[in-house]
Structure 1
Amino acid sequence: MLSEMDVVEENKDIIIGGQTVSPGEEKLVKISIDRLPTGTLIDIPVYVFNAKQPGPTILVQAGLHGDEINGIEIVRRMLAEKRFKVKKGAVIAVPILNIFGFIHFSRDVPDGKDVNRSFPGTKKGSMASRIAYHYVSEIMHQIDYGIDLHTGGGQRNNFPQIRYTAEDSQSGRLAEIFNAPMSFASKLIKGSFRNAAYRMQKPTVVFEAGESMRFDDFAITEGMQGILNVLKHLGMTSDNTSTSVDTRKTIHLNGRRWLRAPTAGMFIPEVVNGGEIKKGQEMGMITDTYAKHTKRIKAPFDGYVICINHQAVVNQGEALFHVGMP
């Protein structure tokens, strides 16, 4: 069972980028990664809040994909509001892991590789592989738990949801404590951060909310509250001040399916993201520009909408709705 009793017996120094953050210290440290062709050095900024009293070390990270800015804003707001000040244990907060992608408004790094498919990385590999390698070497071996903040890719809007690893009971418990509107087990993906964390026996959850390059205040608020819920449960802080999220319990989903476009055309959704659906309900339609042909998309089962594609013009086979079954 996940609790503050599951942690190390005494607090410890945290060493990142050759800098030591002792118990009772707060410090901004940096991990040197690479240089731009201009010679500009690129660092990953890492904020460390290390309490004097012993407790767990939790990593809160965002920007693994550079265009997923809701997670970046979650960390920024919590830093600005001093929500990471803890009385026990330590928080390692990384606002932007993929600096290169953020600079270029891109999911990937300049060589086209995905950092979240490059873990655990290699010291002399591609840019993405080197970022992953340094991150594992500098940070991951020092943490007890991880919260990885993400956003829907492209124009896909994820309703706030927490994903955990079915094979890791503590990951499932962490998701329950986070208490996002939706939660479900998700398969491990080769080369992903969560897969690397699982192999290192570091319980980790992934929070997905909103769509890339667009702020979603509801998604941001839900993410902040979830992190506060975890910190409070682990006894690291007494600050569980509400961020205006209601006190409902997470809806656990046991099955999921993507509904895809049966034909090309203009896509018009007719349901609300996060809303409940009934089997056979019309969820939206695809129509041609001449109003001659229309295809209706119907719900395959009773459940909930957890993602909507906001792309107005779609091709056959493109994902339109992600739906979950409780």
Structure 2
Amino acid sequence: MIETIAQVALPVDEVLRIKKRRILPNDRKDRKKRISIVTGIHGDELEGQYVCFELSRRIEAQKECLKGIVDIYPAMNPLGIDSITRGIPAFDLDMNRIFPGNAEGNMTESLAANILKDISGSDVVLDIHASNIYLTEIPQIRISRLHKEKLVPLAERCNVDFIWVHEASTVLESTFAYSLNSTGTPCLVAEMGVGMRITKEYGDQLVEGIFNLMDSMGMWTGDTAASRKAIVSEDSDDVCFLNAAAGGLFIPDVKHWEKLQKGDRIGRIIDPLSGAVLQNVVSPVDGILFTIRDYPIVDEGSLIGRLLKKEVASV
């Protein structure tokens, strides 16, 4: 069942519609719990599109195993997805900075308010994001320290490699996830892959996690694979940031999620004109590389990667 949850008029007799697909179990008595899968808040983050497709396909193939309501919202920012832009085109707005919105406000505020109204009350919400076009991220879930007691056990079911608990001071109150969590609807923020691309293996990994989460909620009776044991980081000092000391072309030497020792070379920043190596980017600590530069052109100060320190990675 496909429904329009919010719509506004656009110029030239067009209408912007935000839609969801609701998948209902065969037996009406099984409709007590609800999980909502949300993606496309940023139009240049496409990893969640595949997750929505694969989740729908697998549920339909074993519909008799469904014991709850699954709501799928694949395109929260359809104009952004159509134009492959992060924000809402023509408004120069990041949609993830306008929640909880205002039903009586302007177009974007009204959309945000209606979206939140429709999703609020879900037993769990999974808000799926990708990285930008510059960086590749391993499948991870990011959580505000304010809500870690409720959210970390849910995140551990999601088959991700890493759970990153952020300080409360770094969480913007105008985000979709903050607005839901602060009003009692548990919302996990998943991030994986790279902008403007689909990484199928990461999508399949997260889909398995969603089925595990549904199983733990009593919403799925079909077969599930065992979830990976995620590394949980709750200290900002656990993560080491790597930045470029010079502008040039970054050529990586290592792969994503690779264990490194202090002094190992991660890559080089080179100058194609002179043939010079401008910087050997080395690991400052023992740890695991969970973010790596995907777009090769860098400026001085550009983020090259993030390392999870060994003390945490070995837990």
**TM-score (norm: length of structure 2):** 0.87
Could you tell me which residue of structure 2 aligns to residue 236 of structure 1?
219
Q: Please give the alpha-carbon distance, in whole angstroms, between the structure 2 residues aligned to 1:90 and 1:156.
A: 34
Change (3 A) 1:312 1:87: closer
Q: Please give the alpha-carbon distance, in whole angstroms, between the structure 1 residues aligned to 2:202 and 2:107.
A: 30
Change (3 A) 1:292 1:89: closer
Native 8 Å contact 1:115 1:129 kept in 2? no
Q: Please report how far the alpha carbon of residue 253 of structure 1 lies from its aligned counterpart in structure 2 after TM superposition.
A: 3.1
Cα shift readout 1:14-69 (whole Å, capped 9, x = no counterpart): xxxxxxxxxxxxx2111232233222212111112344225422111111111211
Three-state SS of the structure 2 residue aligned to 1:274 is coil
State whether structure 2 residue 47 is matched by structure 1 residue 70: yes
Cα shift readout 1:56-115 (whole Å, capped 9, x = no counterpart): 221111111112111011011211333595643322111111111111111110111011
Could you tell me which residue of structure 1 aligns to residue 268 of structure 2?
285
Q: Please give the alpha-carbon distance, in whole angstroms, between the structure 2 residues aligned to 1:153 and 1:176.
A: 25
Cα shift readout 1:108-156 (whole Å, capped 9, x = no counterpart): 101110111111012344543332111112222x312111111011231
How many residues are treated as equivalent by the alignment? 296
Cα shift readout 1:194-247 (whole Å, capped 9, x = no counterpart): 1111211222211111111111111111111111110011110112344xxx75
Change (3 A) 1:240 1:65: farther
Native 8 Å contact 2:2 2:19 kept in 1? yes
Three-state SS of the structure 2 residue aligned to 1:102 is helix
2:72 to 93, 107, 110: 93
What code does the residue aligned with 2:193 have? G
Could you tell me which residue of structure 1 aligns to residue 302 of structure 2?
318
Q: Normalized per residue, which structure has more helix?
A: 2
What code does the residue aligned with 1:90 have? I
1:306 to 290, 294, 306: 290
Native 8 Å contact 1:166 1:172 kept in 2? no
* Identity of matched residues, %: 25
State whether structure 2 residue 42 is matched by structure 1 residue 58: no
What code does the residue aligned with 2:249 have? M
**TM-score (norm: length of structure 1):** 0.84
Q: Please report how far the alpha carbon of residue 252 of structure 1 lies from its aligned counterpart in structure 2 after TM superposition.
A: 2.3
Greater mean deviation of Cα atoms: 162-171 or 213-222: 162-171
1:47 to 11, 16, 21: 21
Greater mean deviation of Cα atoms: 59-68 or 184-193: 184-193
Greater mean deviation of Cα atoms: 53-62 or 272-281: 53-62
Q: Please give the alpha-carbon distance, in whole angstroms, between the structure 1 residues aligned to 2:162 and 2:268.
A: 25
Could you tell me which residue of structure 2 aligns to residue 172 of structure 1?
152
Q: How does 1:205-216 map to 2 (within 5 A)?
A: 205-216=188-199
Could you tell me which residue of structure 1 aligns to residue 123 of structure 2?
144
Q: Please give the alpha-carbon distance, in whole angstroms, between the structure 2 residues aligned to 1:239 and 1:28.
A: 24
Q: Please give the alpha-carbon distance, in whole angstroms, between the structure 2 residues aligned to 1:76 and 1:35.
A: 28
Q: Please give the alpha-carbon distance, in whole angstroms, between the structure 2 residues aligned to 1:302 and 1:128.
A: 45
What code does the residue aligned with 2:288 have? Y
State whether structure 2 residue 103 is matched by structure 1 residue 123: yes
Q: Please give the alpha-carbon distance, in whole angstroms, between the structure 2 residues aligned to 1:294 and 1:205.
A: 40
Q: Please give the alpha-carbon distance, in whole angstroms, between the structure 2 residues aligned to 1:240 and 1:118.
A: 39
Gaps of 5+ in 2: none
Could you tell me which residue of structure 2 aligns to residue 82 of structure 1?
59
What code does the residue aligned with 1:297 have? V
